[in-house]
Chain A
């Protein structure tokens, strides 16, 4: 599913301050099956843009078209994986994973459970299928959240810094697994991050954003063949050139 972002503006209004322009004139085309990273400093509106694509917030002007339809509200076609852990604490891992299938009434119960078990096996979480989220580590929780969206056959995955709370080792492992499932399922992925290394490792295209107001500064085609090696010359080179261009402004 392709995504077309047309002339998006988003301003927040509050009583005390004047209008705050968060996103200004955003135009972006995302191809079907593409993996895009939105990269920028905090406050550049990258999460806001992701929420607009998801339909969780509404643009002040402009429109977003996903697979030929204007986005008006959230849908099972566009799954969001949040930075905060978002598993339902009162459901087991297996029940969490099949939640979307129940909501969208896909498949019989037996089929769904079998599919869920297959997916959980593929990421090494099958032994935890009857565990509750509070018994899992952070990395496991995010893997379950990703499985939950994949199993729901969401053609678009919107990921909001999903690995930022993990330690480096786990982060690298999950990035690798994400590339694995993306190749297998050919989802369109929009991945928000403030980590240059993560963007260079994952993305087909990196959309670099500026803040105040949030707008697209530059689009970089990564063009490094996968599997990417962090120690390769081209990886380091690209990373450095992005860091130079990027005003992280912390």
Chain B
């Protein structure tokens, strides 16, 4: 019982120490001007302001909307494509070079074209997110399909399954854990891309909020934005890890 109590407390020790030192060198001793390094109290004040005027909520919803739109768009294309490429070796051989060249290009490198093609607003950000997560999801799905246990495929065949049923009833379920891993990686990348895209080609969202706040010397709000991004990432990670735990095979 004591162990249990201790274990729950342990993850909070380092954050508390960090916040204490942060407070000490900023608000406490005033070593830095609050513009260069805002202290915890400045951040809490800023947080209260953006919560009260609703800016935090609208910008967070805006960012999440972009993340989901990009992720769903990428999944709709990458998962079926991954299944096809994993299933038909020739198709994979045809596409593998293109994928290998496009994949290492950082998503933010698409920002110039995203602005040229889609202007300023939600669409360019969604496009960047799409470019960021389409490849991890694709590659994980291909891998998942290819790793299907041969014995399971052959068992299904000798139980009378045709090719379509083998794909639907054996290959797809056995690829699910890999697809979930792909989505988990994809969503992490998507979040990073969103913020970068919003700082350049957008007029809303957490990235935009961070940038405008900094331009107005309101770096407390900058920190609030950064922390919210971190918390969103944590929440996603938690959800996907839970999903992975439920998949036991």
Contact = CB atoms under 8 A, between A and B. Distances in A.
Interface of A: 54, 56, 73-76, 78-80, 82, 84, 86, 88-90, 99-100, 103-104, 132, 134, 145, 148-149, 152, 154, 158
Contact of A56 (B154, B159, B249): B154
B173 A90 contact: yes
A103 B161 contact: yes
Contacts of A149: 158-159
B161 A86 contact: no
Nearest to B172: A90
B169 interface: yes
Contacts of B249: 89-90, 132, 134
Nearest to A83: B151
A132 B155 CA distance: 17
Contacts of B157: 56, 73-74
Contacts of B176: 90
B158 A99 contact: no
B contact patch SS: helix
A52 B169 CA distance: 24
B170 A79 contact: no
A148 B156 CA distance: 11
Given A132-B248, A134-B249, A86 B160 contact: no
Contacts of A103: 156, 159-162, 165, 169
Contacts of A100: 159-160
A158 B169 CA distance: 23
Q: Which of B152, B159, B165, B248: most chain A Cβ within 10 A?
A: B159
B173 A88 contact: yes
A99 B156 CA distance: 8
25 contacts: A56-B157, A74-B157, A74-B158, A75-B160, A76-B158, A79-B158, A79-B159, A80-B154, A82-B151, A82-B154, A84-B151, A88-B152, A88-B155, A88-B156, A89-B248, A90-B174, A99-B156, A99-B159, A99-B161, A99-B169, A100-B159, A103-B156, A103-B161, A104-B159, A132-B248
Contacts of A145: 155
Nearest to A134: B248
Interface residues of B, number: 19
B154 A152 contact: no
Contacts of A152: 159-160
B216 to A, nearest CB: 53
Contact of A86 (B155, B162, B173, B174): B155
B158 A104 contact: no
Contacts of A73: 157
Contacts of A79: 158-159
A134 B249 CA distance: 8
A86 B248 contact: no
A89 B249 CA distance: 6
Contacts of A99: 156, 159, 161, 169
A99 B169 CA distance: 9
Closest 10 CB pairs of A and B: A76-B160, A89-B249, A100-B159, A74-B157, A104-B160, A103-B160, A86-B155, A103-B161, A80-B158, A90-B173
A104 to B, nearest CB: 4
A148 B151 CA distance: 15
B169 A86 contact: no
Contacts of B165: 103
Contacts of B152: 86, 88
A54 B156 CA distance: 12
B169 A54 contact: no
B194 to A, nearest CB: 33
B159 A148 contact: yes
B82 to A, nearest CB: 19
B137 to A, nearest CB: 20
A76 to B, nearest CB: 3
A73 B160 CA distance: 10
B168 to A, nearest CB: 11
B160 A88 contact: no
